Amino acid sequence: MENFSKWFHNILKKADIIDSRYPIKGMAIWRPYGFKIRNHTLELLRKLLNRDHEEMLFPLLIPQEQLIKESIHVKGFEDEVYWITQGGQNDLNEKLALRPTSETAIYPMYSLWIRTHMDLPLKYYQIVNTFRYETKHTRPLIRAREITTFKEAHTAHATKKESDKQVQDFIKMYKEFFNHLAIPFLISKRPSWDKFPGADYTIAFDTIMPDGKTLQIGTIHNLGTTFSKTFNIQFEDKDSQHKYVHQTCAGLSDRVIAAMIAINGDDKGLKLPTTTAPYQITIIPIIFKNKKNDILNKCIEIKKTLENEGLRVNIDDRDIRAGKKFYDWELKGTPLKLELGPNDLEKQVIIAMRRDNLEKIELPLDETLTHTIKEYIDKYDDNIAENAWNFLENHVKFTANKDNIAQLIEQGNVVAFNWCGDEKCGRELEEKTGYNILGISQTLDSQSEITCIKHNKPAKYIAYIAKTY
């Protein structure tokens, strides 16, 4: 993959994932194959969230007065908001914002819903489209102006301790989610100047894309009582005192799908994990005239058997060359292809080919087939995840010398370094190098004699710096 950006645009188009020719910048269309991948991704996400959250759905529009009520929050978003000012021929009395995120839509309602400690913790989420007037270069899925798949969870708790615990629970859940998608990640606490507008602190998941740039693929924010004070979200506690709730929110977007595609792809196309592949197995009949029906019938029988075991299977019976079918399903990233021709049928075997190693193996067409295939796709999943993690781990390099940062990053790495944690020092480092501090990955032992990469002050943390999307 020499030119990642070109590869990415090509694959979205050729594999029928996204069509970005829609005549509004930053807004694109999900094509049916992409839509299926998106559905499976959402299914997984809902399954994880529904363990202890409930899904809801808010309106898209937010009254101006509500959006601007939380001053720090609005400052962070004011340059990114799309406004609706007219209804038909009439000017609206109040401007309405297309939600860039929904804190200011949701929290006034939380203030009505939450009354006593018995209403807590409250854990709701929605999966909606949001709009951000991004001024940086837009890219489908990665930086869109309409984020079509924005998962936002919003929780409220009685104490700070519980909200901190919720942050940890989200971290666990995200780990599980990204593992299902074969997306390796770095977790860090964003520096104070890069946290979510209105948050006490932000924990972010980043991955390293094939071009070495990092992509923020998920965030978890502890909002403290900033919003509950602004929107008056109070509860009566056991001691009859009225207190402000402590809140968190956590977001994911289409970027997750971008990362899954980019990290697991190669020059032949996609390598989708079986969790999200529209078809986990594609059967390709090799049709010769006199045997056509026998072959097709056997393919249908195999498909049914595998489907009964819960696998997603399709048969490509298009009237085109088998070679073209192989090419297409390699491009579309089906984890396992099965090929059945007249000779195979006679020998009672089928040829299996995993998308990751492209090895062809003959499998007996008997009652062991389903079991063997399941083992195969498990190995496939393990292998693509292992490769993805190896890539990430090989591209995180530690240095104690600030003069090495630029070279390491330009070679496609994220750089880990010892840091004092001071804002001034961090900002200077960003300015001097032109890269971004992702955040703190680890706190150092307070007894340690290690010094900050920039000066002689004691280092408190290990932090990451990178070229970011």
Catalog residues that contact ligand PR8 under the rule CB under 6 A: 101, 132, 134, 143-144, 147, 152, 196, 216-219, 221, 249-251, 253-255
Q: In this complex, which beta carbon is closest to ligand PR8, that of residue 250 or of residue 270?
A: 250
**Nearest CA-CA partner of 414 in 438, 381, 444:** 438
Q: In this complex, which beta carbon is closest to ligand PR8, that of residue 144 or of residue 415?
A: 144
**Nearest CA-CA partner of 315 in 285, 270, 345, 276:** 285
| CA atoms within 13 Å, Cβ hemisphere of 349 | 9
Residues β-bridged to residue 156: 122, 247
Q: In this complex, which beta carbon is closest to ligand PR8, that of residue 217 or of residue 373?
A: 217
d(CA 205, CA 216): 6
Q: How far is the CB of 268 from ligand PR8 (least distance, A)?
A: 27
Q: How far is the CB of 142 from ligand PR8 (least distance, A)?
A: 6
Residues β-bridged to residue 18: 30
Q: In this complex, which beta carbon is closest to ligand PR8, that of residue 221 or of residue 454?
A: 221
Residues β-bridged to residue 409: none
Report long-range pairs for 228-234 (Cβ below 8 Å, ≥24 apart). 228/107, 228/111, 228/156, 230/69, 230/70, 230/107, 231/69, 231/70, 231/104, 231/107, 231/108, 231/110, 231/111, 232/111, 233/107, 233/110, 233/111, 233/114, 233/156, 234/111, 234/114
Q: How far is the CB of 216 from ligand PR8 (least distance, A)?
A: 5
- Looking at residue 452, the DSSP 8-state letter turns out to be -
Q: How far is the CB of 381 from ligand PR8 (least distance, A)?
A: 24
DSSP codes of every residue in 338-355: EEE-HHHHHHTEEEEEET
Q: In this complex, which beta carbon is closest to ligand PR8, that of residue 258 or of residue 311?
A: 258
Q: CB–CB of 440/462 below 8 Å?
A: yes
- Looking at residue 79, the DSSP 8-state letter turns out to be G
Q: How far is the CB of 23 from ligand PR8 (least distance, A)?
A: 19
Q: How far is the CB of 140 from ligand PR8 (least distance, A)?
A: 9
Q: Which residue is nearest to ligand PR8 (CB)?
A: 251
Q: How far is the CB of 282 from ligand PR8 (least distance, A)?
A: 30
Backbone angles phi, psi at 364, to 5 degrees: -65, 135
Q: In this complex, which beta carbon is closest to ligand PR8, that of residue 143 or of residue 355?
A: 143
Q: In this complex, which beta carbon is closest to ligand PR8, that of residue 145 or of residue 298?
A: 145
Q: In this complex, which beta carbon is closest to ligand PR8, that of residue 221 or of residue 354?
A: 221
**Nearest CA-CA partner of 453 in 461, 445, 441:** 461
Q: CB–CB of 275/44 below 8 Å?
A: yes
Q: How far is the CB of 26 from ligand PR8 (least distance, A)?
A: 8
